[in-house]
Amino acid sequence: MTKKTETDGLAKLVESVLANYREHGRLIKVGVSDQINREAVIEVVHKLQALVFPGFFSQKPVRQDSLAYHVGDLLESVRHDLTKQTERAFRQQQAAKKISGAPVVINSFLERLPSVRNLLAADVEAAYDGDPAAFNHDEIILSYPGVFAITVNRLAHELYLLGVPLIPRMMTEHAHNQTGIDIHPGATIGHHFFIDHGTGIVIGETTVIGNHVKMYQGVTLGALSTRGGHLLDGVKRHPTIEDHVTIYSGASILGGATVVGEGVVIGSNAFITRSIPEKTKVSVKNTELKFMFDKRDEPAPETLQDEFWDWVI
Amino acid sequence: MTKKTETDGLAKLVESVLANYREHGRLIKVGVSDQINREAVIEVVHKLQALVFPGFFSQKPVRQDSLAYHVGDLLESVRHDLTKQTERAFRQQQAAKKISGAPVVINSFLERLPSVRNLLAADVEAAYDGDPAAFNHDEIILSYPGVFAITVNRLAHELYLLGVPLIPRMMTEHAHNQTGIDIHPGATIGHHFFIDHGTGIVIGETTVIGNHVKMYQGVTLGALSTRGGHLLDGVKRHPTIEDHVTIYSGASILGGATVVGEGVVIGSNAFITRSIPEKTKVSVKNTELKFMFDKRDEPAPETLQDEFWDWVI
Amino acid sequence: MTKKTETDGLAKLVESVLANYREHGRLIKVGVSDQINREAVIEVVHKLQALVFPGFFSQKPVRQDSLAYHVGDLLESVRHDLTKQTERAFRQQQAAKKISGAPVVINSFLERLPSVRNLLAADVEAAYDGDPAAFNHDEIILSYPGVFAITVNRLAHELYLLGVPLIPRMMTEHAHNQTGIDIHPGATIGHHFFIDHGTGIVIGETTVIGNHVKMYQGVTLGALSTRGGHLLDGVKRHPTIEDHVTIYSGASILGGATVVGEGVVIGSNAFITRSIPEKTKVSVKNTELKFMFDKRDEPAPETLQDEFWDWVI
């Protein structure tokens, strides 16, 4: 292509893209001087992680004599950046009345940090107690995806409760990208919460989880029906899980009226759509397997009905 | 270790590594002046995302009066980088005849951007309509992993159709890393496509999906058999999904001859290997659960056969 | 808020955070001059990847005449950084006797690189043979998440065998973040190992896998019971998989005494808690589906019992 052809070609491309922009107003953010900045939100997440677990993720060592400065610097940085992004979020949602309240909202959020840390301390203990493969607490804090996910979620949940739009979900979707664990910031989660492995977990917005709950990869705490779309806003659509429940891999528990009672154990791959009384163990009944020993022989199927509970707690 | 020992030690290590390089020719790219650059491809993906959703992901605001320059600059940058990587991809595949055609191929690709945006506009609408938890369109564009995955896939698919090697798959595997959603760039997908949650979804190369299709985490649209290995190149191995189909979490639909008819709903964890007539609802029959109420008592098993459709749409 | 109020407010926040730090000693690493650096470990992973697959991931081309320098430079950089992080890991675990042994440990590790590459060469072959969608070996090395996961795991496993704490798990959890594939560095894996798709795979610490094993997304090789918590340290809790086994998506194989015999094929979603004799095919018996053709008519359920093996190898 000649240079002129190239320039003409580019001009045509630009024109066709601009024309398409005009057709789809929802897909552009132009002329918005304060567009919420996703990178800035992710940066805040990592500074909050550094505040929650000081010294674990720093490039430079954190020293006792300078600890107050380190903390003050991080807190101020988070306060500034998060307030700015929150103002932008309110502005975008045309919640103009709220914009001036952003500093107070973020201050309230930061005042919650000690409470969030208390919960996370218990979560780390739960991880250590719940996983024989855990080498020590350092390993858990440094590398367990479940701990990263619950750290981000507890922080995002506080912002959600304070009515901050957009940002909580951006934070949890970042954690979802990193860990494969998808917990909506609206979910309410008690203390000593442990996710082991975690890839594929989905926990919906109106889920309520009690204390000392443990779950494995692929678990869904979800909604039964999305019929009604946005008429369902505000309605409880996701289940309630009471204290001391264990949910094995691949299980699904669905429905806003579904309550899993205290001490219940849900077996792998169970599909639950109604409430379970306390202290019950629930497993999939038909775990029958079919065996074929050799393709050429008469298949000698041998069915095997495992008692899940002979083998598992 | 003394310094001399260290140097000798290093020399020995280098020698053993180089010797091993000579044993495995396929694992090295040495002397290739134009090795395809994965980071450059990922950079292109993010610039294309900025072209598709201008202003959402920028560090600086995008202004109306400079929009044409912003778009022109992005388009030229993508055109230049993608053409270079495409030439390298052709060269690597020893498709020498095609190298000179790379600029035309990439120009054709960029001319498809408006069509791709039209499809993505519908996908964003489908996400809003299909998810009661969606706060607004901004939240969907900024943070939904399903939207990121389909954005990358629609773009990669255009390159795939134009015969560009390697690059389409590199793009979709990047989206897979980010989202846990694994859609081969060869898959053909209609409009108003919505993936909710999405972790664990696998959609194979020769899958054909219609319009207004919705699916949840852990769904596989896969092949029945890989027997025959590369003899199967070009053969349809993955299913066809007609319009207005909903596929709940964990379901598997396998086979190149399998057609899921219009309006079908596939229940959670269903395993489908034959075609389903239109408007049918398919669920797993044996969702029987076994309950044990107390370990010390006589187990009083109570089986429960849920009608999946009593509860779900 | 006035500036004074802001400063007072910040001082109060700092004080409350510091007070909370004193309550939870395990959640802080302060005054530790040599905290293990997660970013440095991830950097080492990527340099090792460049050593294993030279030229594939470089920004600049790797040339034949400078190959020895390129390799020597990478090896020295890895040796230096990994030795430093290993010393820190030993120090943190209060394994003071071992700190001085870190250089020897890391030298032993680097001497294993050719052996690890031999295994990875076979893994790449297995990927090519096992996936009809694989365009060529380049595509596999550049973009297959299963290959990245097994690359990191084989390297981390060598460090695990050499008794290095923390670092192996940090490496594999990084690969887990990237790929959704969760393989503990303690797992022992034979040659020609292929993971296709892979999202959601979990392979436990004491798993033993033979040669020519292939598995799909969502497979769990796990423990039956975590009762006993850390009393189980050192006990084999995860299964043994013999040569030439194929495990389809979503299957779970649990238990330290469970042995899956040579040539066995485990069907999708099977749940295995006891040993399987060689050459057996195992599938879920009750794949019965229930069909409802029209909500208003009498439901005409039609059950369908698929023979999994009619359809799959």
- Are A204 and A235 in contact by the 8 Å Cβ rule? The answer is no
DSSP code, position B62: P
Of C40, C45, C37, whose CA–CA distance to C179 is shortest?
A: C45
Whole-number Å distance between alpha carbons of B223 and C207 = 28
Contact assignment for A57 to C38 by CB distance below 8 Å: yes
CA dist B117 → A32, B109, B295, C33, C254 (Å): 21, 13, 59, 52, 46
Q: Cβ–Cβ contacts within 10 Å for residue A141, how many?
A: 23
Per-residue pLDDT tens digits for A38-68: 999 999 999 999 999 999 998 788 889 999 9
Interface predicted TM-score (ipTM) of this complex, two decimals: 0.88
The count of C-alpha atoms lying within 13 angstroms of the C-alpha of B295, restricted to the half-sphere facing its C-beta, is 8
Domain boundaries C200-282, corresponding CATH code: 2.160.10.10
- Are B237 and B270 in contact by the 8 Å Cβ rule? The answer is no
State the pLDDT at residue B294. Answer: 53
- Are B196 and B214 in contact by the 8 Å Cβ rule? The answer is yes
Identify from A226, A231, A310 which residue to disrupt to test chain B contact, counting B C-beta atoms within 10 A and taking the largest count.
Answer: A226
From the CA of B12, how many Å to the nearest CA of chain A? 33
Contact assignment for B39 to C56 by CB distance below 8 Å: no
Q: Which fold has domain C31-181?
A: serine acetyltransferase, domain 1 (1.10.3130)
From the CA of B108, how many Å to the nearest CA of chain C? 23
Kindly calculate the radius of gyration of chain C based on its CA atoms and give it in whole angstroms: 25
Q: Going by C-beta distance under 8 Å and a sequence separation of 6 or more, which residues neighbour residue A262?
A: A210, A242, A243, A244, A245, A278, A279
- Tokens (6 digits) for C116: 């690890």
Whole-number Å distance between alpha carbons of C155 and C158 = 5
Contact assignment for B218 to A200 by CB distance below 8 Å: yes
Identify from B35, B92, B247 which residue to disrupt to test chain C contact, counting C C-beta atoms within 10 A and taking the largest count.
Answer: B35
Identify from C5, C13, C43, C183 which residue to disrupt to test chain A contact, counting A C-beta atoms within 10 A and taking the largest count.
Answer: C13
Per-residue pLDDT tens digits for C210-254: 999 999 999 999 998 655 566 666 789 999 999 999 999 999 999
State the pLDDT at residue B125. Answer: 96
- Tokens (6 digits) for A198: 């975690």
From the CA of A125, how many Å to the nearest CA of chain B? 27
- Exposed / middle / buried, residue A77 (Cβ in 10 Å: 0-12, 13-18, 19+): middle
Chain C hits for A313, Cβ within 8 Å: 225-227
Whole-number Å distance between alpha carbons of A285 and C307 = 20
Looking at residues A55-83, what average pLDDT do you find?
Answer: 92
Residue A311 above 80 pLDDT?
no
Cα Dmax for chain C: 79
Whole-number Å distance between alpha carbons of B220 and B253 = 6
- Are A175 and A155 in contact by the 8 Å Cβ rule? The answer is no
pLDDT band at A298 (very low <50, low <70, confident <90, very high): very low
Residue A309 above 50 pLDDT?
no
Chain C hits for B237, Cβ within 8 Å: 132
Per-residue pLDDT tens digits for B60-115: 888 899 999 999 999 999 999 999 999 999 988 776 677 788 999 999 999 999 99
Chain C hits for A57, Cβ within 8 Å: 38
From the CA of A291, how many Å to the nearest CA of chain C? 5
Chain B hits for C132, Cβ within 8 Å: 223, 226, 228-233, 237
Chain C hits for A116, Cβ within 8 Å: none
List residues bridging with B247 in a β-sheet.
Answer: B215, B266
Q: Which helix (H) or strand (E) holds A163?
A: none
Chain B hits for A93, Cβ within 8 Å: 136
Q: Cβ–Cβ contacts within 10 Å for residue A229, how many?
A: 13
Whole-prediction pTM: 0.91
| Through-space distance between the first and last CA atoms of chain C, rounded to whole angstroms | 71
Q: What is the amino acid identity at position C108?
A: S
Of C40, C183, A177, whose CA–CA distance to B146 is shortest?
A: A177
Pairing of strands C281-284, A182-183: unpaired
Whole-number Å distance between alpha carbons of C241 and C209 = 5
Q: Which residue among C180, C199, C285 sits closest to A288, beta carbon to beta carbon? A: C285
DSSP code, position A118: H
Contact assignment for A291 to C280 by CB distance below 8 Å: yes
Residue A4 above 90 pLDDT?
no
Q: Cβ–Cβ contacts within 10 Å for residue A1, how many?
A: 11
State the pLDDT at residue A7. Answer: 72
- Tokens (6 digits) for C26: 């395990």
- Tokens (6 digits) for C239: 């299964």
From the CA of C106, how many Å to the nearest CA of chain A? 20
Chain A hits for B250, Cβ within 8 Å: 218, 250, 252
The count of C-alpha atoms lying within 13 angstroms of the C-alpha of A288, restricted to the half-sphere facing its C-beta, is 12
- Exposed / middle / buried, residue A94 (Cβ in 10 Å: 0-12, 13-18, 19+): exposed
Q: What is the amino acid identity at position B220?
A: T
Of C197, C163, C194, C158, whose CA–CA distance to C180 is shortest?
A: C197
Whole-number Å distance between alpha carbons of C141 and C147 = 7
**Where do we find the tokens 């359809």?**
C311
Q: How many helices (H) and strands (E) does chain A have?
A: 10, 15
State the pLDDT at residue C4. Answer: 64
Per-residue pLDDT tens digits for C57-90: 987 888 899 999 999 999 999 999 999 999 999 9
Torsion of CA B246, A255, C198, C178, to 10 degrees: 110
How long, in residues, is chain B? Answer: 313
Pairing of strands A252-254, A271-272: parallel
Please report all neighbours of A, defined by 3+ CB atom pairs within 8 A: B, C
Flag residues of chain B having pLDDT under 50. 1, 295-313
Q: Which residue among C170, C202, C252 sits closest to A143, beta carbon to beta carbon? A: C170
Give the residue on C whose Cα is nearest the Cα of B167: C139
pLDDT band at A307 (very low <50, low <70, confident <90, very high): very low
DSSP code, position C226: -
From the CA of C187, how many Å to the nearest CA of chain A? 12
Residue A203 above 70 pLDDT?
yes
Kindly calculate the radius of gyration of chain B based on its CA atoms and give it in whole angstroms: 25
State the pLDDT at residue C310. Answer: 38
Per-residue pLDDT tens digits for C114-136: 999 999 999 999 999 998 888 88
- Tokens (6 digits) for B222: 């896969």
State the pLDDT at residue B303. Answer: 38
- Exposed / middle / buried, residue B254 (Cβ in 10 Å: 0-12, 13-18, 19+): buried
Pairing of strands A271-272, B194-195: unpaired
Contact assignment for C67 to B18 by CB distance below 8 Å: yes
- Are A223 and A256 in contact by the 8 Å Cβ rule? The answer is yes
Per-residue pLDDT tens digits for A84-103: 999 999 988 776 677 888 99
Kindly calculate the radius of gyration of chain A based on its CA atoms and give it in whole angstroms: 25
State the pLDDT at residue C308. Answer: 42
Whole-number Å distance between alpha carbons of A188 and B228 = 50
Whole-number Å distance between alpha carbons of B231 and B218 = 28
Identify from B71, B289, B308 which residue to disrupt to test chain A contact, counting A C-beta atoms within 10 A and taking the largest count.
Answer: B289
pLDDT band at A32 (very low <50, low <70, confident <90, very high): confident
